[in-house]
Amino acid sequence: MTGEQIVFLVVAFFTLAAGFMVVTTRNLVHAALWLVAALFGVAVTYVTLHANFLAVVQVVVYIGAIAILFIFAVMLTRRDMRDQGPQMNKNWWLGALLAVLTFGGLYFLLQGWEGMTKTATSYPVSFDAISELGSALVSPVGYVLPFEVASVLLVAALVGAVYVAFNPRNGDTRK
Amino acid sequence: MVPLSWYLVFAAALFSIGMFGVLSRRNAVAILLGIELMLNAVNINLAAFWRYGDVRLMTGQVFAIIVFAVAAAEVAVGLALVISVYRNRHTVVADEIDMLKW
Amino acid sequence: MNPWIFVGLFFVVGLLIPVGAIGIAWLLGPKKPNPIKQSVYECGIETVGESWVQFKAQYYIFALVFLVFDVETVFLFPWAVKLGALGLFAVIEGIIFVLILVAGLVYTWRKGMLEWA
Amino acid sequence: MSFWNDPLKVAADWLLGVFTGWGMPELAANILIGFLGILILISLLMVLDIGLVWVERKVVARFQDRIGPNRLGPFGLIQPFADIIKLMIKEDITPAGADKVIYNIAPMLSMMSVLILWAVVPLAPAILGVDLNIGVLYIIAAGSIGTLSIIMAGWASNNKFALIGAFRQVAVMISFEVPMLATMLIPTILAGSMGTAAIVEKQDIWYVLLAPLGALIFLIAAIAELGRAPFDLAEGESELVSGYNIEYSGMKFGMFYAGELLHAFTFGGFWAILFFGGYRFFGLEKVSPFLAIAVILFKAFIGYWLIMWVRYTLLRIRIDHMLAFNWKFLTPLAFTLIMVTALMNALLAGAPAWLYIAGMFLSNIVVAWGALEIARFYSRRERERIEGKQVVAAGH
């Protein structure tokens, strides 16, 4: 077993364990922090894939912004720190069954595919992925439309979120 | 060298864990946490296919970045909805949010 | 050799040093806990109520606007790297991108969501 | 190749010879050498950090017309070491009801987020932790871990003030991260690379001449990011009794404190790297790497001193003013500046050097002037509106 494989297995195991904690921990702030751990594991996975830019963006966007947003939301929607009641709904076993079936099904499908055991060609030494990514994003023959649409999507999300959550007319009806 | 299958199986496992979270948690915020895991599993696949295909074609990375934007938009709107419901109904338990309009 | 090995080493060493410092302090320091010492410090006054306070929704708004801008700037970095080689067309694309983004900020501003009220 | 010209390579080669002589495989030997090098670098940083405590206390004393530490050793130089010993032998109190694991991890993460920044600080032409082609974003990524550590500390302490302080601090940090990211785009545009080493190498003209406004916005955002006065409202001693780290004592508090000082120094360094040519100083860096290191440390100290100067001169700003300043002034200004810089850079691509510099500099000045005029117009209107109301009220 080579060093790369050992690194991959350690990271994958860590990520899956953290992911499992995300979906089972009772305390929601802990769940959000476990999510950070899992996402960090995914960032390391990107590093093993030589996707430097994705790895850093993963940390900047997920850990720097999305995790913070989750923690803020958890604190905005709870009136005390204790978690009362069960965290799982009564059909949780059905969910578990479906998840196992999904994994089994995906595994079965992947196993029948000939590209499964493919190994990567060695990474080109002087290949500047970010520069290539830049030209792919903005060149007219590349992905310029998704690039601009992403901007529109995010602005739409901002406008929608601001409107939904904080419309003054939509205030607290219990008052 | 790590074969492609390892990444795909890893991503499938992460996706299944996320799906379990989505299907079985009661708290709406926790459901969104599960969705994040699923989106990340998708992104691992995209990055792995980029690396194991022709590295010079940036399609995989471009799509992964678009998925980042989608994930951000999803979290922003999803959590805004949860907060809105909480302000109106004082609950974030998904089972109890059963009215179409309030 | 992959340069990220060294980044990993930086993480390891960067974590080892504070762990070592806190560990040594833990070994050297006295350990005589008592309830008064361990009580929460709130300016010397007895704690009132839960240590839980409901937060202003405004924090969420700022985090939201930040999230959107964060993702957008991440899109702009590859654009900025390649800008010199791409010419005026790419510059205009980037400007349109930024203008759409600023429109979102202006909307939030006009809705009065950036006020700390 | 002598030690004087390339100390790092000479030392690494010598060590590699020694280790492989012991029968160690080359990869393992390289990793071990890297580990040792990083350990030495970070240990030196910690020593520097202790020195910074002394500098900070001496400088604040001078600003406030005091003498500062002067008893222990010449100029009180041994004082910080005495402080360290005090922190070491203090009792480590964990408040009741704290979330123990998170409470203990937070200070370590806080320190780590600062130390890992030095992986991308180019100290001399060939002396650099790691030459990443995404160096600029790496800085932001490390900052994200710092933000997380603050919210962890505030939440785990089980204390109202700590939680409020953490929330305010995080709100400020994430808000000011937007103009910071935006101004980091400017050196990226000018150098055509995100690597810190490449940005320094491309700076034949210091970027502060091409983007003076960008440098200024970066400094303001950095000060806010560091949570130092005038943006230190999370610590608001009068209302929040020191904010998110209120429940921390002994070495754990020391980690937050030392991390803050080193962070300020590091951002002084990044300011120099992005806008003031890093280790370059009129060809001095070509003479010897040691001189280059001296140059970058000197520039970082100037940046650090500026941050201190601001800190001890200005008053604390209220949180609503501060966030309004960020979102309504700094962020639109930073994005306007990006657009103008990108446009001017493309338009002046073929121009002679003097025209290029003059054009970039003037466009910055125009943007700054325009922004100030607009701000002045709106603040005058606002003032007249309020004063008008008062006149009406007085008439009754």
**Domains and their CATH numbers in chain C:** 4-110 (1.20.58.1610)
Q: D80-85 — which CB contacts under 8 Å span 24+ positions?
A: D80/D50, D80/D51, D80/D53, D80/D54, D81/D50, D83/D53, D84/D50, D84/D254
Q: Name, in order, each residue with C-beta under 8 angstroms of D97's C-beta and a sequence gap of 6 or more.
A: C40, C51, D158
Q: Name, in order, each residue with C-beta under 8 angstroms of D14's C-beta and a sequence gap of 6 or more.
A: none
> What pLDDT, on the 0 to 100 scale, is given for residue C22?
85
Within 10 A of D391 (CB to CB), how many other CB atoms are there?
Answer: 10
Q: Name, in order, each residue with C-beta under 8 angstroms of D196's C-beta and a sequence gap of 6 or more.
A: D120, D121, D122, D128, D135, D136, D273, D278
Q: How far, in Å, CA of D24 to CA of D26, rounded? A: 6
Window 62-101 of A, Cβ < 8 Å to B: 62, 65-66, 69-70, 73-74, 76-78, 85-89, 91-92, 94-96, 98-100
Tokens of D30: 């390289």
Residue where one domain finishes, among candidates D56, D89, D122: D89
pLDDT higher than threshold 70 for residue D337: yes
Q: What is the pLDDT of residues D158-206, one digit of tens each?
A: 777 788 888 888 888 888 889 999 999 999 888 888 888 888 888 888 8
> What pLDDT, on the 0 to 100 scale, is given for residue D133?
82
My answer on whether A5 and A71 are in the same domain is: yes
Min Cα separation A23/chain B (Å) = 5
Question: Confidence class of residue D59 from pLDDT cuts 50, 70 and 90?
Answer: confident
Walk me through the domains of chain B, giving residue ranges and CATH numbers: 4-96 (1.10.287.3510)
Q: Which amino acid is at B21?
A: G
For the residues A122-149, what does the mean pLDDT come to?
A: 80
My answer on whether D60 and D116 are in the same domain is: no
pLDDT higher than threshold 60 for residue D273: yes
- Is residue D249 within 8 Å of residue D241, measured between CB atoms? no
Q: What are phi and psi of B27, to 5 degrees?
A: -80, 130
My answer on whether D96 and D53 are in the same domain is: no
My answer on whether D161 and D80 are in the same domain is: no
| Inter-CA distances, A86 with A20, A73, B21, D36, D160, Å | 17, 20, 14, 50, 27
Q: Which residue of A has its CA nearest to D175?
A: A65
My answer on whether D294 and D171 are in the same domain is: yes
- Is residue C59 within 8 Å of residue B83, measured between CB atoms? no
Q: Is residue A33 part of a domain?
A: yes
My answer on whether A76 and A132 are in the same domain is: no
Residue where one domain finishes, among candidates D38, D67, D89: D89
Nearest to C83 among D167, D189, D335 (CB): D189
Contact D159 C83 (CB under 8 A): no
Which residues are registered as beta bridge partners of D128?
Answer: D122
pLDDT higher than threshold 90 for residue A16: yes
- Is residue D234 within 8 Å of residue D165, measured between CB atoms? yes
Q: What is the pLDDT of residues A72-91, one digit of tens each?
A: 888 877 654 455 566 677 77
pLDDT higher than threshold 80 for residue D389: no
For the residues D96-114, what does the mean pLDDT come to?
A: 86
Tokens of D318: 């209220």
> What pLDDT, on the 0 to 100 scale, is given for residue B38?
92
Q: CA angle, D316 as apex, D310 and D318 as ends, to 5°?
A: 135
Question: Confidence class of residue D235 from pLDDT cuts 50, 70 and 90?
Answer: low
Residue where one domain finishes, among candidates A16, A45, A80: A80
My answer on whether D116 and D126 are in the same domain is: yes
For the residues D357-382, what does the mean pLDDT come to?
A: 89
> What pLDDT, on the 0 to 100 scale, is given for residue D100?
82
Min Cα separation D174/chain A (Å) = 8
My answer on whether D153 and D138 are in the same domain is: yes
pLDDT higher than threshold 70 for residue A138: yes
Nearest to A165 among C60, C72, C85 (CB): C60
Contact D174 A68 (CB under 8 A): yes
Contact A73 B9 (CB under 8 A): no
Q: Which residue has the higher pLDDT, A47 or C3?
A: A47
My answer on whether D203 and D174 are in the same domain is: yes
Q: How far, in Å, CA of C6 to CA of D298, rounded? A: 26
Contact C74 A57 (CB under 8 A): yes
Least confident range of A63-67, C28-32, D234-238, D239-243: D234-238
For the residues A12-19, what does the mean pLDDT come to?
A: 92
Distance in Å from the first CA to the final CA of chain A? 64
- Is residue C108 within 8 Å of residue A158, measured between CB atoms? yes
> What pLDDT, on the 0 to 100 scale, is given for residue B39?
92
Min Cα separation A126/chain D (Å) = 12
Q: Name, in order, each residue with C-beta under 8 angstroms of D47's C-beta and a sequence gap of 6 or more.
A: none
> What pLDDT, on the 0 to 100 scale, is given for residue A172?
45
**Is the ipTM value over 0.90, yes or no?**
no
Q: In the predicted model, what is the mean pLDDT of chain D?
A: 84
Q: Is residue A91 part of a domain?
A: no
Min Cα separation D62/chain C (Å) = 30
Q: How far, in Å, CA of D334 to CA of D213, rounded? A: 9
Question: D223-251: string of b/e by CB count within 10 Å (b at 16+)?
Answer: bbbbbbbbbbbbbbeeebbbbbbbbbbbb
Tokens of D229: 């006065």
Which residues are registered as beta bridge partners of D124?
Answer: D127
pLDDT higher than threshold 60 for residue D293: yes
Counting as low any pLDDT under 50, the low residues of chain B are 102
Q: Which of B2, B36, B43, B68 to mutate to test the interface with C (most CBs of C within 10 A)?
A: B68
> What pLDDT, on the 0 to 100 scale, is given for residue A125?
72
- Is residue B13 within 8 Å of residue A38, measured between CB atoms? no
Q: Which of D26, D148, D158 to mutate to test the interface with A (most CBs of A within 10 A)?
A: D148
Q: Which residue has the higher pLDDT, D128 or A63?
A: A63
Look-up: residue for tokens 């991108």? Answer: C97
> What pLDDT, on the 0 to 100 scale, is given for residue D395?
58
Q: How far, in Å, CA of C61 to CA of B84, rounded? A: 13
My answer on whether D37 and D122 are in the same domain is: no
Is A47 strand, coil or helix?
A: helix
pLDDT higher than threshold 80 for residue A169: no
Domain carrying residue D336: 90-395
In chain C, residues with a C-beta closer than 8 Å to the C-beta of D43 are 17
Question: Confidence class of residue D218 from pLDDT cuts 50, 70 and 90?
Answer: very high
Give the predicted TM-score (pTM) of the model. Answer: 0.89
Tokens of D17: 């010879």
My answer on whether D62 and D105 are in the same domain is: no
Contact D137 A57 (CB under 8 A): yes
What's the 3-state SS for D232-265? CCCCCHHHHCCHHHCCCCHHHHHHHHHHHHHHHH
For the residues C43-72, what does the mean pLDDT come to?
A: 73
Q: Is residue A118 part of a domain?
A: no
Least confident range of D171-175, D230-234, D351-355: D230-234
Q: How far, in Å, CA of D135 to CA of D163, rounded? A: 32
What total of structural domains would you count in chain D? 2
Residue where one domain finishes, among candidates D30, D57, D89: D89
> What pLDDT, on the 0 to 100 scale, is given for residue A10?
92
Contact B27 A158 (CB under 8 A): no
Q: Is residue A149 part of a domain?
A: yes
Min Cα separation C116/chain D (Å) = 5
Q: In the predicted model, what is the mean pLDDT of chain C?
A: 80
Min Cα separation D156/chain A (Å) = 10
Q: How far, in Å, CA of D318 to CA of D213, rounded? A: 24
Q: Which of D104, D137, D177, D196 to mutate to test the interface with A (most CBs of A within 10 A)?
A: D137
My answer on whether D3 and D99 are in the same domain is: no
My answer on whether D79 and D107 are in the same domain is: no
In chain A, residues with a C-beta closer than 8 Å to the C-beta of C57 are 76, 165-166
CATH at A8: 1.20.120.1200
- Is residue D363 within 8 Å of residue D212, measured between CB atoms? no
For the residues D284-289, what does the mean pLDDT come to?
A: 77
Judge D/B contact: 3 or more CB pairs < 8 A: no
My answer on whether A74 and A2 are in the same domain is: yes
My answer on whether A19 and A76 are in the same domain is: yes
Q: Which of C2, C55, C66, C67 to mutate to test the interface with B (most CBs of B within 10 A)?
A: C67
pLDDT higher than threshold 70 for residue A174: no
For the residues D242-268, what does the mean pLDDT come to?
A: 83
Tell me, what DSSP letter sits at residue A64? Answer: I
- Is residue A162 within 8 Å of residue C64, measured between CB atoms? yes
Q: CA angle, B22 as apex, B21 and B25 as ends, to 5°?
A: 65
Q: Is residue A113 part of a domain?
A: no
Min Cα separation D274/chain C (Å) = 15
Q: Is residue A108 part of a domain?
A: no
A71 has a chain D CB within 8 A of its CB: yes
Residue % of chain D over a pLDDT of 90: 7
Q: Is residue A89 part of a domain?
A: no
> What pLDDT, on the 0 to 100 scale, is given for residue B95?
65
For the residues D329-358, what does the mean pLDDT come to?
A: 87
pLDDT higher than threshold 60 for residue D254: yes
C68 has a chain B CB within 8 A of its CB: yes
Distance in Å from the first CA to the final CA of chain D? 87
Domain carrying residue A161: 128-175
Question: Confidence class of residue A17 from pLDDT cuts 50, 70 and 90?
Answer: very high
**CA torsion sign, A162 to A168 to A169 to A172?**
positive
Nearest to D111 among C1, C18, C42 (CB): C18
Alpha helix positions (H), chain D:
7-21, 26-63, 79-88, 100-115, 135-156, 160-191, 196-202, 207-210, 212-226, 237-240, 250-275, 284-287, 289-313, 319-325, 331-347, 353-395
Question: Confidence class of residue D393 from pLDDT cuts 50, 70 and 90?
Answer: low
Least confident range of A157-171, B3-17, C59-73: A157-171
Look-up: residue for tokens 């499938």? Answer: B12
Q: Which residues of B touch C (CB under 8 A)?
A: 65, 68-69, 72, 75-76, 79-80, 83, 87
My answer on whether D296 and D367 are in the same domain is: yes
What total of structural domains would you count in chain A? 2
Rounded-to-10 torsion of CA C55, C58, C61, C63: -60
Closest CA to A22 of A10, A8, A7, A40: A40
Which residues are registered as beta bridge partners of B25?
Answer: A88
Min Cα separation D218/chain C (Å) = 15
- Is residue D70 within 8 Å of residue D216, measured between CB atoms? no
Contact B76 C64 (CB under 8 A): yes
Question: Confidence class of residue A175 from pLDDT cuts 50, 70 and 90?
Answer: very low
Q: Is residue A96 part of a domain?
A: no
Closest CA to B62 of C86, D193, A143: A143
Q: What is the pLDDT of residues C77-104, one digit of tens each?
A: 888 888 877 778 888 888 988 898 888 8
